[in-house]
Amino acid sequence: MTYLRRHMDGRLARLLEVHPACLVEGVRGAGKTSTALRLAAATLRLDHPPTAHQAANDFEGLCASLAAPVLVDEWQRIPQVWDSLRRMIDDDRSPGRFILSGSSRAAVSADVHTGAGRILPLRLRPMTLSERRGEVPAVALADLAEHGIEAVRGVRSPFSPAEQAASAVESGLPGYLGLAELDQQEALRAYLDLAVARDLSEISSTVRHTGKLRNYLRAYGAVVATTTDHATIHQAAGVSKTTGEAYHDLLSRLGLIEDLPGWSHNRLKRLTRRPKRHLVDPALAAADHHESSAVLSGRRDRLGELFESVVAAQLRAAADALGLSWRFGHLRSAGGDQEIDLIADLPDGGVLAFEAKLNESVGKADVKHLSGLRDRLGDSFRAGLVVHPGTTAFRVDDRIAVVPLGALV
């Protein structure tokens, strides 16, 4: 199978020239092993029982004759491997010795001690649009942070408007690319069933009613891209407050839930801190509710919510994979009269703001919230972008432009 380039590839290669070990983590099926294999000189698969047995008994001896970097795949199956790696790195801090790959749950296991200063964690999320096609985005996000809307003016999306809108129901998990839509949705529902039935058992031995947890996940998927409160989700799932909060924590640890925190700034008052609800891959929410493209064609509001979730998920995925150190949030005033879907705080103090719009036609009336934020923030406001499923980027106002999703990610 042809490897599709990931945004993280170049960064992982560079970091291995500096750090002794990198951990590639993420949800099941995100492509962690395939990405790590491209740079590994040797591989230890700890989901292979004989290899796992050797690793549990003498991991250092098992690695002694292997060329670096050694990929330790599914390392969390043998938790003591982590401490062995720490000791080996303390003895020899040469760069590029190990790559670890495993799911997000590993990073929160109570049996794992910190690897700070030794093992650098990197998160791999589902594929963005350009990754799915094996292309480089027309706009580099780093250029957007530095040059504002000048970095996007006139660029064209390699994806048609229909292809960009369809990302609301098409998964970025590599194993499901190319499947017919209904076949993919059936496979994604099975993926969620498996995550609850099997993956959860590896981080919790206390959850007995996986059916209730599955109901909670389905209820959560119904409110993506909204600030729905926990009580409403608990009620829809038929669980108590205590149970619902425990379920939320478990699903966050599995990496399936990715809340977007409320954004705050000292120049703006009375902003809500309630998070927006998102899944790591919005197509999971659509599949879980049997929302095909045909169904969503008659539910414009829901399609818009899913598209907003796609914009948030893919911008976060690209920025994190590239190591840009952007901190993301959303803006909503306490009265609900001002909302911005996604805000990125940049390391240099600048701010980028993003609004997701499903319409291909966008005008000045659609950027009033971005304009208001620009006027309040002054020079720290780097750019405001309306992200939509269009064809060409264009300027709308001072430091505000419209840009196709497919040109960014």
Q: What is the pLDDT of residue 204?
A: 63
What is the predicted pLDDT for the residue at 245? Answer: 94
CA-CA distance, 307 to 389, in Å (whole number)? 9
Instruction: Return the axis-axis angle of helices 80-91 and 49-63, rounded to nearest 10°.
Output: 20
| Residues 280 and 171: beta-carbon distance below 8 Å | no
Between 41 and 338, name the one with better pLDDT: 41
Tell me the pLDDT band of 359, cut-offs 50, 70 and 90: confident
Q: Could you report the per-residue pLDDT of 376-393, keeping only the tens digit for each?
A: 999 999 999 999 999 999
Per-residue confidence (pLDDT) for residue 111, from 0 to 100: 44
| Mean of the per-residue pLDDT values of the chain | 91
Q: Higher pLDDT residue, 205 or 174?
A: 174
pLDDT at 211: 86
**Across 79-83, 244-248, 402-406, which has the greatest mean pLDDT?**
402-406
Task: Say which residue, 345 or 365, is predicted with more confidence.
Answer: 345
How many other C-beta atoms are found inside a 10 Å radius of the C-beta of residue 318? 23
H/E/C letters for each residue in the chain? CCCCCCCHHHHHHHHHCCCCEEEEEECCCCCHHHHHHCCCCEEEECCCHHHHHHHHHHHHHHHCCCCCCEEEECHHHCCHHHHHHHHHHHHCCCCCCEEEEEEHHHHHCCCCCCCCCCEEEEECCCCCHHHHHCCCCCCCHHHHHHHHHHHCCCCECCCCHHHHHHCCCCCCCHHHCCCCHHHHHHHHHHHHHHHHHCHHHHCCCCCCCHHHHHHHHHHHHCCCCCCCCHHHHHHHHCCCHHHHHHHHHHHHHHCCECCECECCECCECCECCCCECCECCHHHHHHHCCCCHHHHCCCHHHHHHHHHHHHHHHHHHHHHHCCCCCEEEEEEECCCCCEEEEEEECCCCCEEEEEECCCCCCCHHHHHHHHHHHHHHHHHEEEEEEEECCCECEEEECCEEEEEHHHHC
Six-digit token string for 27: 């949800």
Structural domain spans, the chain:
8-123, 129-408
The rounded distance, in Å, linking the Cα atoms of 264 and 270 is 9
pLDDT at 341 over 60: yes
Predicted pLDDT at 114: 56
- Place 312 in a pLDDT band, splitting at 50, 70 and 90: very high
Contacts of residue 359, defined as CB under 8 A and 6 or more positions apart, other chains included, come to: 366, 388
Segment 257-268 mean pLDDT: 87
Q: How far apart are CA 125 and CA 27, in angstroms?
A: 7
Give residue 360's pLDDT.
Answer: 78
Name the token pair of 138: 């027309």
Tell me the average pLDDT across 96-116: 65
Radius of gyration, CA atoms only, the chain: 22
pLDDT for 154: 87
d(Cα 41, Cα 125) in Å, to the nearest integer? 24
Q: How is domain 8-123 classified at the CATH fold level? A: Rossmann fold (3.40.50)
Question: What is the band of 366 on the pLDDT scale with cuts at 50, 70, 90?
Answer: confident
Alpha-carbon 389 to chain mean position: 20
Tens-digit pLDDT profile for residues 216-252: 999 999 999 999 999 999 999 999 999 999 999 989 9
Predicted confidence at residue 207, as pLDDT, reads: 62
| 113 against 329, higher pLDDT | 329
Percent of the chain predicted with pLDDT > 70? 93
Provide the pLDDT confidence category of residue 151 given band limits of 50, 70 and 90. very high
Task: Tell whether the model's pLDDT for residue 311 goes beyond 80.
Answer: yes
Closest CA to 218 of 291, 127, 308: 291
Instruction: With cut-offs at 50, 70 and 90, classify the pLDDT of residue 203.
Output: low
